[in-house]
Amino acid sequence: MRVLLLEDDIALSDLLNEHLEDKGFEVTLCTNGQEALENLVDKKFDFALLDINTPTISGIEVLKRVRTEYKNNIPIIILTAYQDTKHLKESFESGVDDYIKKPFDLEELDQRILKLCRQFLIEQDNKIKIDEKLYFEPSTCKIFKDNEIINLAQKERDILKYFCTHKSRVVSSEELLQNIWTYDEMPTDATIRVYIKNLREIIGKDKITTIRAIGYRFE
C-alpha cells in the first residue's frame, strides 16, 4: 500500500517513516504542504497522513484543496499537536476521515489506519456482498455470480470498489477521474461510460443509476 506522509519534524518524520515501512507500506515523505499537494494531485496513494502546521501550505489547506479543487476523496488522517477543538472542527468540515492528536502511541496510529483500511476496502481480501447472489473480491478482480466467476479489468475493479465505498451517493465522472486515474492517463468520458456499461452487464443495470448531467449512483 502506498501512503503519503506530510511531516516537517525530522525526528518524527523518520520515526513514522521507519514504522510504516516496517508495516509494509511504501511511504512518500513530504516536508512542506506544496510538495504534498503536488504528489497527491499527480500520483495515486491508498491514504495520506497530514500534519497541520507545515511550511508553504498547512495540512488543512492541503486537505481543503484536495477535496474542493481536485475532487479527490483519498482517505486522509490529520496528525496535529493542536489540542483545541477549532482545528479538529475545521478538519472534519474540510473532509478529513480521522484526526489524531500528538503525542500518540504508534499502536494508536496502527489502529486508526486499520479502521481506515476497513472503511475504504484498502487491501480488501474478503468478498463484498452486493446482493444475495453476487459477491465482489477486489484483491483478485473477481465477481462471484451464482456459480460463475467473472474476471474484471483492473479499472472496472477500481470503479466498482469506489462505488462500494461511496454507496447510495452520487459520484460524478470528474470524481472518478480524480480518484482512480493519474494525471497522465486520464481517459475520456466515453471510456468511463464503457467501463460503467461493462459493469452493468455483469452486476445488473439496476445497481448503477445514471444521474443525468451529474454522474452515477451505486445501490
pLDDT of residue 125: 64
- In CATH, the number for domain 2-119 is 3.40.50.2300
pLDDT of residue 73: 94
At 161, list the grid cell.
470498489
**Per-position DSSP letters for 195-212, written without gaps between them:** HHHHHHHHH-GGGEEEET
Residue 126 has pLDDT above 80, yes or no: no
CATH 1.10.10.10 in the chain: give the residue spans.
128-218
- Where do we find the cell 472496472? 156
At 130, list the grid cell.
452486493
Helix (H, G, I), strand (E, B) or coil at 89: helix
Rounded to whole angstroms, the Cα distance separating 217 from 163 reads: 8
**Each residue's pLDDT tens digit, 86-104:** 999 999 999 999 999 999 9
Give the CA-trace dihedral at 111, 71, 80, 26, to 10 degrees.
Answer: 50
CATH 3.40.50.2300 in the chain: give the residue spans.
2-119
Global pTM?
Answer: 0.81
- In CATH, the number for domain 128-218 is 1.10.10.10
Residue 81 has pLDDT above 80, yes or no: yes
Task: Check residues 201 and 182 and name the one with the higher pLDDT.
Answer: 201
pLDDT of residue 124: 62
Distances (CA, A) of 83 to 52, 78, 79, 135, 188: 12, 13, 11, 43, 45
pLDDT band for 169, please (50, 70, 90 cuts). very high
**Each residue's pLDDT tens digit, 51-65:** 999 999 999 999 999
